[in-house]
Structure 1
Amino acid sequence: MTGLMDVQIKKGAGNLHAFTVDLSGEEIRTRVRGKIKAVNPRLKVPGYRPGHVPESMIRRNRDLIRSIHQEVLDDLLDSAYSEIIKKSSGTVVHLNPAPVSLETKSEETGLTIEGELEIFEIPADRSPYGVVLSPEEALSVSEEEIATEIERLRIMMSNNFREDLPEAEHIQMSDFVRFKIHFVHPSTGETFDSEQVSEVGGDGVPEAFNQALLGKKRGDRVQTTLPLNVPVSGKGGGTRVETHPAELEVLDIQRRIPLEIGELIARVFPNSEEGEVKTESDLRSDVEKGLLGQKVLGVLRKKREELRKEILATWGVATPEKRMAREYQRLSLSSDTDREEYRQIFLWQLVLDQLAEREKIEPDWETVGQEYRQIMQSRGEAPSREVDREALSIAMQGARRIKLEEMMLRQAQFGGQDLFFDEGGYLDKVGMKKFGKKTASVGEHDHDHDHDTHDHGDHDHHDHSGDEGQA
């Protein structure tokens, strides 16, 4: 063994490898003596001043020296794990040492730590750019779609509600519904009951909730399967989305009175320049742009999914089975469908993280902020001027993944790609000019932000078909 710590990794089959860490007696002895020196001033031994108790006397205290040896072992294990991670060519996703103990004789003979680890690696010769995907057709927005959306906005943007809604009235889109929700977690047996108000078809409401409520009336109870926010135990807390059978009971319904066209125009363009008169033609153009943006986002979601499946299927990415087994247990995933869905997402995140490191991807800071706020909201924490560094680190990792996916899509090869990404293409038309363009590094950042958002004042043209979460 050369040096004070010698790390050897023996390659095994697939992701699973064996490791050996040899620690010299000199290293162990130095650390033990350091701990003894640190604890000496706190000892009260008759005949000795604090800090001057002989080392030999301290070593005769079996409980104390056992505690010191355990502290040193914990420190050595941390150091060994750090060295293993540094020496690994990929991402260490599972590390399991065999049981080991440190005794006085180890200060002379040294100590060997053995165990298994899984290392996730992507092929070094694969480029994330130029992936071939299926073709896309041209997008268009029909006059009928524009008219339908305007009628929807007349209702959605109204603040006036009917006071004469009959008791037996059935729920329609855009109604505000107050309901009770009840479900029992199938794994833990824990019961969850809550009362909520949701706007049917509103922003962030999962489609499963919309379908469960539409057509129902006050007092109705419905048994259905819904995506629900379930509290997560352990470090960080927060919630995660799980799909479970649940019961909804409709308590109350409120329905808006539609706006007149003139009122709608005033709501859609609240910040018009003085003397500038917005017309129904302006309204139709704005609605058309919003609907086109909705369709563009739908295509991008589909291409992201296709990109993930293509790379995972063709790059020969091996699944770290030990780590996945631990994840399934941690998340109580029992069905094959849930496990496969999570496996795909987990592998894809590992792929993106390694690619982002290799390609030196810088995140968009606006995206970092969005990711950070979502993390803090999921934890139930109120906004604060003090930054949570752990949450910020996770947010930056998520923003890098998003930026890399965008860059991979912009440089993918598929029929109709020019319609979306060329100058004057769909992304430019709907205000997504920065999508997939390399972010300037911190040193190059000039704070001249181009906010690629499609601003509609108080209204949005959203597609919620893929949303998840509890209403």
Structure 2
Amino acid sequence: MQVSIETTSGLERRLTVGVPAERVDSEVDSRLQKAAGNVRLPGFRPGKVPMKIMRQRFGQGVRQEVLGEVMSQSFQEAVVQEKLRPAGQPSIEPRTLEAGKDLEYVATFEVFPEVDLVEMKDFAVEKPVAEVTDEDVDNIIEVFRKQQGSWDEVERAAQEGDKVNIDYAGTKDGEAFEGGSAEGSDLELGSGRMIPGFEDGIVGMKAGEEKTLSLTFPEDYHNEDLKGAAVEFAIKLNKVTALTPAELNEDLFKLYGVEEGGEEQFRKEVGENMARELKNAIEGKVKQQVMDAVIEAHEALEVPRALISQEVDVLRQQTFQQFGGAAQNLDLKSLLPDEMFAENAERRVKLGLILSEMISQFELKADPDQVRATIEEMASTYQEPEEVVNWYYSNQEQLSSVESKVLEDAVVEKLLESAQITEQECSYQEAIGQARPEA
């Protein structure tokens, strides 16, 4: 087998491969001979069909099959011979396919880049420092009470936070405009659903009252005809309902998984969950900064387009699933074009290549105890933690994802040894808001 290699541009390579005719022709003959023993043709006894007839009837199809297999096999042999690491599938362009002549084809593909790690030291990391206070716990419990509360009709004037039922009709220059009117519409005051001034204008109204609001649409409103337009809304308030938070009792505790121990145990578990969330948020914020520094330090690293394309497909499918993913026969590429994901996909591929090299050079391994601890921490938020732990250990794909996370965290810890870390005191809410997961 003859192989020549050419670097066309960057990571792209072009292999010209020549395979002796005998390798293809002998395999074609071998398959035809085996097939002849089973073929039944009119005028011939079973197993006695002459090879000449076999070649006439089946030779072309068998040859095409053999050519495909030989090109695939010889390509793999060629990249091993040349010590190449293809990224993605090659584009094959046949040059000579005739029987009796050496097979020749050209394979074009990208290779994985050589990752030259840049020494990272003294890069800046700001670490939030916060704790969960009794007031934080009170605030979250109040959120829970509101989530499980009831909306009851009231006779008083509407206040921010109430829900109102209204009829409204909008006009521009005295003419109704599309989408500007509704009857029996429910609206939570303070939600920001309507244009500025609309919800504020309803505050203070009572059921049965009517009012006309003179308002202006924002300059950046999505409807071109209404951008910056002066309009009027005639509003009739039909009903006001106010939220009555749920009682702090056993029924509420059970809704959040606390069967025994009353309010004391409920507060304890809420606090523990918040502390866990805070820890994860701070770690996420720090990890994000480390990953940003890794990307910045290796900005010049070129990544294969094929891998970016694969990652775009993964992100597109994930996005589709997040929004239901049930509809059939959708053209996802039109609905969710590549441009939506290209930047994030390139970042993820680049990070993956760099982290893989770091794991290799730092000689890191996924510590089984740390893997177990990570799984147990994730499982602790479920009612039957042991079942979740067992599920992870019986599902190799999920277990591998946890091992990858543990390895990534080990890289982060290694890099933090050389970072300039500044601690920044903040509140629980500020720390939670600062953190964002690594893409």
Q: What is the TM-score normalised by the length of structure 1?
A: 0.53
Output the CA distance in 2 between the equivalents of 1:290 and 1:328.
Answer: 34
* Cα shift readout 1:180-224 (whole Å, capped 9, x = no counterpart): xxxxxxxxxxxxxxxxxxxx9xxxxxxxxx9869x999xxxxx99
Checking the alignment, whether the CA contact within 8 Å between 1:8 and 1:19 is kept in structure 2 is yes
Structure 1, 68-77 or 140-149: larger mean CA deviation: 140-149
Residues 1:365 and 1:172: Cα distance change in structure 2 (over 3 Å) = farther
Question: Hey, what does 1:16 align to over in structure 2?
Answer: 12
Question: Structure 2: which 5+ runs fail to align?
Answer: 164-187, 203-219, 223-240, 314-331, 379-393, 425-431
Give the deviation of 1:321 after TM superposition. 3.6
Output the CA distance in 1 between the equivalents of 2:356 and 2:311.
Answer: 18
Is the aligned partner of 1:407 residue 2:398?
Answer: no
Give the deviation of 1:119 after TM superposition. 0.9
Output the CA distance in 2 between the equivalents of 1:78 and 1:365.
Answer: 42
Is the aligned partner of 1:292 residue 2:279?
Answer: no
Is the aligned partner of 1:27 residue 2:23?
Answer: yes
Give the deviation of 1:269 after TM superposition. 6.5
Output the CA distance in 1 between the equivalents of 2:311 and 2:252.
Answer: 50
Task: Choose between structure 1 and 2: higher helix proportion.
Answer: 2
Question: Hey, what does 1:95 align to over in structure 2?
Answer: 90
* Cα shift readout 1:95-118 (whole Å, capped 9, x = no counterpart): 212244633123xxx212212211
Query: What SS class does the counterpart of residue 78 from structure 1 fall into?
Result: helix
Is the aligned partner of 1:105 residue 2:97?
Answer: no
Output the CA distance in 2 between the equivalents of 1:49 and 1:341.
Answer: 65
Q: 1:77 aligns with which of 53, 57, 71?
A: 71
Give the deviation of 1:405 after TM superposition. 1.6
Question: Hey, what does 1:144 align to over in structure 2?
Answer: 135
Checking the alignment, whether the CA contact within 8 Å between 1:22 and 1:112 is kept in structure 2 is yes
Is the aligned partner of 1:114 residue 2:106?
Answer: yes
Question: Hey, what does 1:43 align to over in structure 2?
Answer: 39
Output the CA distance in 2 between the equivalents of 1:360 and 1:40.
Answer: 57
Question: Structure 1: which 5+ runs fail to align?
Answer: 176-199, 201-209, 218-222, 226-252, 372-388, 420-461
Residues 1:398 and 1:144: Cα distance change in structure 2 (over 3 Å) = same
Output the CA distance in 1 between the equivalents of 2:292 and 2:23.
Answer: 48
Output the CA distance in 1 between the equivalents of 2:353 and 2:68.
Answer: 28
Output the CA distance in 1 between the equivalents of 2:309 and 2:272.
Answer: 46
One-letter amino acid of the counterpart of residue 349, structure 2: F
* Cα shift readout 1:3-22 (whole Å, capped 9, x = no counterpart): xx455544454211121222
- Give the number of equivalent residue pairs: 324
Give the deviation of 1:302 after TM superposition. 2.8
Question: Hey, what does 1:381 align to over in structure 2?
Answer: none
Query: What SS class does the counterpart of residue 404 from structure 2 fall into?
Result: helix
Is the aligned partner of 1:320 residue 2:320?
Answer: no
Output the CA distance in 2 between the equivalents of 1:82 and 1:136.
Answer: 48
Is the aligned partner of 1:134 residue 2:160?
Answer: no
Output the CA distance in 1 between the equivalents of 2:287 and 2:72.
Answer: 38
Residues 1:324 and 1:270: Cα distance change in structure 2 (over 3 Å) = closer
Query: What SS class does the counterpart of residue 96 from structure 1 fall into?
Result: strand
What percentage of aligned pairs have identical amino acids?
A: 16
Residues 1:162 and 1:416: Cα distance change in structure 2 (over 3 Å) = same
Output the CA distance in 2 between the equivalents of 1:39 and 1:255.
Answer: 80
Residues 1:356 and 1:258: Cα distance change in structure 2 (over 3 Å) = same
Checking the alignment, whether the CA contact within 8 Å between 2:253 and 2:259 is kept in structure 1 is no
Checking the alignment, whether the CA contact within 8 Å between 1:89 and 1:121 is kept in structure 2 is no
Residues 1:95 and 1:82: Cα distance change in structure 2 (over 3 Å) = same
Query: What SS class does the counterpart of residue 126 from structure 2 fall into?
Result: coil
Query: What SS class does the counterpart of residue 70 from structure 1 fall into?
Result: helix
Give the deviation of 1:79 after TM superposition. 1.3
One-letter amino acid of the counterpart of residue 258, structure 1: A
Residues 1:295 and 1:321: Cα distance change in structure 2 (over 3 Å) = same
Residues 1:19 and 1:367: Cα distance change in structure 2 (over 3 Å) = farther
Residues 1:268 and 1:339: Cα distance change in structure 2 (over 3 Å) = closer
Residues 1:101 and 1:402: Cα distance change in structure 2 (over 3 Å) = farther
Is the aligned partner of 1:53 residue 2:49?
Answer: yes
* Cα shift readout 1:75-106 (whole Å, capped 9, x = no counterpart): 12321343355454445235212244633123
Question: Hey, what does 1:259 align to over in structure 2?
Answer: 247
One-letter amino acid of the counterpart of residue 82, structure 1: Q
One-letter amino acid of the counterpart of residue 54, structure 2: I
Residues 1:354 and 1:271: Cα distance change in structure 2 (over 3 Å) = farther
Is the aligned partner of 1:348 residue 2:342?
Answer: no
Output the CA distance in 1 between the equivalents of 2:161 and 2:435.
Answer: 17
Residues 1:76 and 1:97: Cα distance change in structure 2 (over 3 Å) = same
One-letter amino acid of the counterpart of residue 104, structure 2: T
Give the deviation of 1:339 after TM superposition. 2.3
Checking the alignment, whether the CA contact within 8 Å between 1:162 and 1:256 is kept in structure 2 is yes
Residues 1:284 and 1:306: Cα distance change in structure 2 (over 3 Å) = same
Output the CA distance in 2 between the equivalents of 1:37 and 1:53.
Answer: 10
One-letter amino acid of the counterpart of residue 104, structure 1: A
* Cα shift readout 1:290-327 (whole Å, capped 9, x = no counterpart): 22322222233333333333323323420324664687
Residues 1:93 and 1:304: Cα distance change in structure 2 (over 3 Å) = farther
Checking the alignment, whether the CA contact within 8 Å between 1:162 and 1:255 is kept in structure 2 is yes
Larger Cα-atom Rg = 2
Question: Hey, what does 1:375 align to over in structure 2?
Answer: none
Output the CA distance in 2 between the equivalents of 1:367 and 1:51.
Answer: 64
Give the deviation of 1:144 after TM superposition. 3.0
Output the CA distance in 2 between the equivalents of 1:368 and 1:40.
Answer: 58
Query: What SS class does the counterpart of residue 46 from structure 2 fall into?
Result: coil
RMSD value over aligned CA atoms?
5.1
